[in-house]
Amino acid sequence: MIGLTLHGAYLGGCFFAVSRGMPAGVAALIVSLQPVLVSLFAAKFLNEPLRARAAFGLILGLIGLFVVVLPRINMTGADAISGIAVVASVIGLLGGTFGTILQKKYGGAIPTLAGTSIQYAGTAVVLLIFALLFEEPDIQWTGNFIGALAWLVFALSFGAILLLFFLLKAGSAASVSSLYYLVPAATAFEAYLIFDEQISPISMLGTLITVVGVWLVVSKQKETPITS
């Protein structure tokens, strides 16, 4: 289940959204709400307290997301975002959220390398079935593809995911997930440099609102929790 949610739904959803025209910066903004959702579910399933300030942050983060995404769904031309791309990004968001919760609750008792290997193997079987059913098995082994594949395998799968699991063993799910709020700004900047994706004022405003909302969720403050 951790493999299917964290690797299959999260990474697969994000990659599919980008393949359907979702700008990398917007996709990163949507999945950046993961710390907010993790904080909510961690309060229920991991007994990590949810505070009133965090609840307000959730609402603010959603507003920021809508500010960026909704005006562009019905647009035409290069700036349009398809509904299926939004749905795929939301699936990625939910997959990353539940995968993090499952890893924190159950995965910590499993040896990291062995457990991660099983996660990847199980996810590979499922995605291979989907690939054979819905896509033509045609891969162009170009230098760009090999380079991107190497980055995804070594930097993302070996590096980032294993680092995530290590941090989850040492800290709370909410605090570890808080690092995700750095992703949208970094992704938007990198997409601007690499893909020439323009950063519009409305996108900057929505990103700022979302970052503030997520910060309210994950920042530590002495107050009485509203859930236990």
β-bridge mates for residue 227, sequence order: 50
> For residues 177 and 218, is the Cβ–Cβ distance under 8 A?
yes
Q: Where are the domains of the chain?
A: 2-227
- C-beta of residue 99 within 8 angstroms of C-beta of residue 105: no
Residue type, 206: G
Tell me the sheet residues that pair with 51. Answer: 225
More confident residue, 65 or 101: 101
Query: 23-70: per-residue pLDDT in tens?
Result: 777 787 788 778 778 877 887 787 777 677 777 877 787 787 777 666
Question: pTM for the whole thing?
Answer: 0.71
Q: What is the pLDDT of residues 149-163, one digit of tens each?
A: 998 889 888 888 888
In the chain, what percentage of residues exceed pLDDT 70? 82
Where b means 16+ CB within 10 Å and e means fewer, 141-154 reads: eeeeeeeeeeeeee
Cα distances (angstroms) measured from residue 125 to each of 13, 88, 112, 133: 16, 20, 20, 13
Residue 15 pLDDT > 80: yes
Provide the strand spans (E) within the chain: 50-51, 225-227
CB-CB contact of 210 with 47 (8 Å):
no
Of 23, 27, 25, the residue nearest 11 (C-alpha): 27
At 222, the pLDDT band (50, 70, 90 cuts) reads: very low
**Residue 115 structure tokens:** 């457990």
pLDDT of residue 73: 55
Three-state SS at 172: coil
Closest CA to 7 of 91, 82, 83, 85: 91
Q: What is the pLDDT of residue 220?
A: 62
Choose among 116, 99, 111: nearest CA to 177.
99
- Tell me, rounded to whole angstroms, the distance of Cα 168 from its chain centroid: 16
The single-letter DSSP state of residue 79 is T
Residue 182 has pLDDT above 60, yes or no: yes
More confident residue, 193 or 146: 146
- Write down the pLDDT at residue 64: 76
Closest to 54 (Cα-Cα) out of 142, 146, 175: 175
Is residue 53 packed enough to be buried (19+ CB in 10 Å), middle (13-18) or exposed (0-12)? Answer: middle
CA distance 128 to 220: 42
Highest mean pLDDT among 131-135, 176-180, 206-210: 131-135
